[in-house]
Amino acid sequence: MKFAVLGSGNGARAWCAQIAAKNYPVIMWEPLEETEDFKKIREEKKMFLEGDINVGGKLLGATMDIAEAVKDANFILVVVPAFAHEPIFKKMIPHLEDGQNIVIVPGNFGGLRLKKMMKEAGIHKNITISETASMPYACRIDTYNKVMIYKKKFCMKIGTSPNSKNDEILKVMNDIFDGYVKYIPAKNLLEIDFDNINYTLHPFPVLLNYGEIEKNGNTFRHYMDGITPIISEKMHKLDEERIIAGKKLGLNLQDCLSQLKMYYGNNDTKTIYEYVNSNESPYKDLVGQSVYGRYLTEDVPGVIVPILLLTKKAGLDLPIAEMVVKLASFLHDEDYLASGTTLETLGIENLSISEIIELTS
């Protein structure tokens, strides 16, 4: 099997090291510029993980030519923030081959966006599209060929379209991460998109601490300072709406606290506030936040907006989620409901809920 990792950030380099440690051929595609780091990676062809996971190995190569990267690749891993999906998909689509498997990490409705873009480009290939809701670990680049893993996840979902191929994808992912992260099946891509806990974890601690973050952004700790017992209570209310929305669409979603325990370790905590302050929490040392950071500028338009719109299409209102979108839009002078990930941008505005579920299954 040959793997191509599209991206060169924290997560992309970590995936390269994880795959290389299994001695599979893996090539990294740099989407931006020929940095000194990239030149060293291209020359030395090695990548390593340190911290909670200590593995590494030799890469097949590193390139800025996407055609070279994806040629004959059995698996194409798109490991970039959601705002980079569209430009990368645009470059990737002309080079896709029958039989390839695309894995989008994290998904953030990327599967639907990719299907729409392929249809518009007239590209009809026999491929699979898979998504995870998040990265398999919290990580940061330490040096050009070393990524520090602060904490790995124990278990996470992966969904595939067509769903009949999900077992095959699961087998490969569990081989790569054997002994580190266990992958379990989701019903479809939509379940992955709705089970993104950034929906719950990110907006309220920023919106309800806006002044403090504006004054002391460099030292503000999103989870430790931003989540108080009362704010945690409101986060649970927002999360309850998400679970209800999932049921309306026939999705078996996990609440945020259950997902945190699945990801980072079970304990007897009863609230998000208690969990982020527990020994299992990976968040204690995360410092620095901005009122214009990605916790609002990405997660409100890219996660909350499409869930809100899909749920409205199913005939259910989400008043707390709608309030979050309106408040973030007001504070940023941006209509996120219009500029975010809408049903039109995903190509599903004219489909029924059952047709959308079928498209993502």
Helices first, then strands: H and E counts in the chain:
19, 12
Planar angle of CA 230, 234, 238, nearest 5 degrees: 165
CA distances from 186 to 117, 214, 303 (A): 24, 39, 18
Separation of alpha carbons 280 and 202, rounded Å: 19
- Spatial contact of 318 and 238, defined as CB atoms under 8 Å apart: no
What pLDDT sits at residue 285?
80
Question: Percentage of residues in the chain with pLDDT exceeding 70?
Answer: 100
DSSP assignments along 134-196, one per residue: S-SEEEEEEETTEEEEEEE-SEEEEEEESGGGHHHHHHHHHHHTTTT-EEEE-SSHHHHHHT-
Which H or E run contains 270? Answer: none
What pLDDT sits at residue 12?
97
- Spatial contact of 44 and 21, defined as CB atoms under 8 Å apart: no
Query: Beta strands 75-78 and 61-63: pairing type?
Result: unpaired
DSSP assignments along 216-250, one per residue: HTTT--TTTTT--HHHHHHHHHHHHHHHHHHHHTT
The average confidence (pLDDT) of the chain is 97
What pLDDT sits at residue 292?
97
Q: What is the pLDDT of residues 152-172, one digit of tens each?
A: 999 999 999 999 999 999 999
Local confidence band at 284 (pLDDT 50, 70, 90 cut-offs):
confident
Which H or E run contains 29? Answer: strand 26-29
Closest CA to 256 of 202, 313, 216: 202
**Region 111-136: what's the mean pLDDT?**
97
What pLDDT sits at residue 286?
84
- Residue 27, strand partner residues: 4, 61
What pLDDT sits at residue 99?
98
The tokens describing 324, both together, are: 């979050």
- Spatial contact of 41 and 9, defined as CB atoms under 8 Å apart: no
Residue 210's CB: how many other CB atoms inside 10 A? 14
DSSP assignments along 296-318, one per residue: HHTHIIIIIHHHHHHHHHTT---
Q: What is the pLDDT of residues 307-355, one digit of tens each?
A: 999 999 999 999 999 999 999 999 999 999 999 999 999 999 999 999 9
Phi, psi of 242 (to 5 degrees): -60, -40
Local confidence band at 302 (pLDDT 50, 70, 90 cut-offs):
very high
